[in-house]
């Protein structure tokens, strides 16, 4: 089943007299529970595509459907709730609140949603991510890899259906980057989460089940939706 898809999606920026097609008439869909990498050179439109698919930004043209309902049929506050409950986000720069401990950062989205903490679920992801000994530390006292693992736990705290990650290993050295990537894969696999990951790095993209390549705002290659058995 497709969990998210877009139709004829475009984002056009006006730069003086020029139009920049950051995304140019893209139609693509993603199956529930799969891991897709979106790759392409700098400026090709990867982040733009992720921002539009996740409802962080609105397109110039086209539509995004989450479980067959257009994101633009939601009222603003409903869309915020959908994003908070169903989508998780991981960024290159971790975006942790530096005054809060690891655990406080992880629980922030649950608190913002006024929901009860599912302690079993939180313990499971803390174990999976190996961050049990960082929970009382402030982000400033953590390595980049540890901060990114906290930010992945935060993204998973609300049990999202889709995890959007934009260059999640971009600030990490090779070893921590590989660890973080393998944890994202594991989380997606074990929790049945659809992972859509943006990267310019082919070595990272090759870890995905599907690779969608974009250039100048267009999909130029798609390895396809059929999952290959390992």
Residues forming the site for Mg ion (CB under 5 A)? 47
Contact 129, 183 (CB under 8 A): yes
Least Å distance, CB 28 to ligand ATP, is 15
Collect all residues with Cβ–Cβ distance below 8 Å to 81 and sequence separation of at least 6: 113
Residue closest to 122 by CA, chosen among 88, 71, 158? 158
Structure tokens at 156: 């998973």
Contact call for residue 10 and ligand ATP (CB under 6 A) = no
Contact call for residue 45 and ligand ATP (CB under 6 A) = yes
Contact call for residue 39 and ligand ATP (CB under 6 A) = no
SS3 state at 73: helix
Residue closest to 62 by CA, chosen among 8, 13, 21? 8
- Which does residue 72 touch among Mg ion, ligand ATP, none (CB within 5 to 8 A, set by kind)? none
Ranges within 179-208 binding ligand ATP (CB under 6 A): 200
One of 8, 13, 67, 173 touching ligand ATP (CB under 6 A) = 13
Query: What is the CB neighbour count within 10 angstroms for residue 111?
Result: 11
Q: Which range binds ligand ATP by CB under 6 A, 35-43, 60-68, 152-160, 184-192? A: 35-43
Contacting residues toward ligand ATP, per CB under 6 A: 13, 20, 22, 40, 42-48, 200
């Amino acid at each position: 089943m497709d969990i998210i898809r877009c139709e004829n999606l475009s984002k056009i920026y006006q730069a003086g007299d020029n139009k920049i097609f950051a995304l140019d008439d893209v139609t693509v869909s993603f199956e529930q529970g799969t891991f897709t990498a979106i790759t392409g050179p700098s400026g090709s439109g990867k982040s733009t595509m992720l921002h539009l698919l996740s409802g962080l930004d609105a397109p110039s043209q086209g539509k995004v459907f989450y479980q067959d309902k257009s994101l633009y049929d939601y009222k603003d506050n409903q869309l915020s709730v959908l994003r908070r409950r169903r989508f998780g986000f991981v960024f290159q720069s971790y975006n942790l609140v530096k005054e809060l401990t690891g655990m406080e950062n992880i629980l922030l989205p649950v608190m913002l949603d006024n929901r009860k903490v599912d302690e079993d679920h939180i313990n499971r992801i803390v174990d999976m991510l190996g961050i049990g000994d960082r929970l009382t530390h402030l982000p400033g006292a953590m390595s980049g890899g540890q901060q990114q693992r906290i930010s992945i736990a935060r993204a998973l705290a609300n049990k999202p259906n889709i995890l959007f990650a934009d260059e999640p290993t971009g600030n990490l050295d090779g070893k921590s980057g590989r660890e973080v990537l393998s944890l994202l894969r594991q989380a997606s696999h074990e929790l049945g989460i659809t992972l859509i990951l943006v990267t310019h790095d082919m070595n990272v993209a090759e870890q995905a089940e599907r690779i969608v390549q974009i250039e100048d705002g267009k999909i130029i290659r798609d390895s396809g939706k059929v999952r290959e058995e390992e």
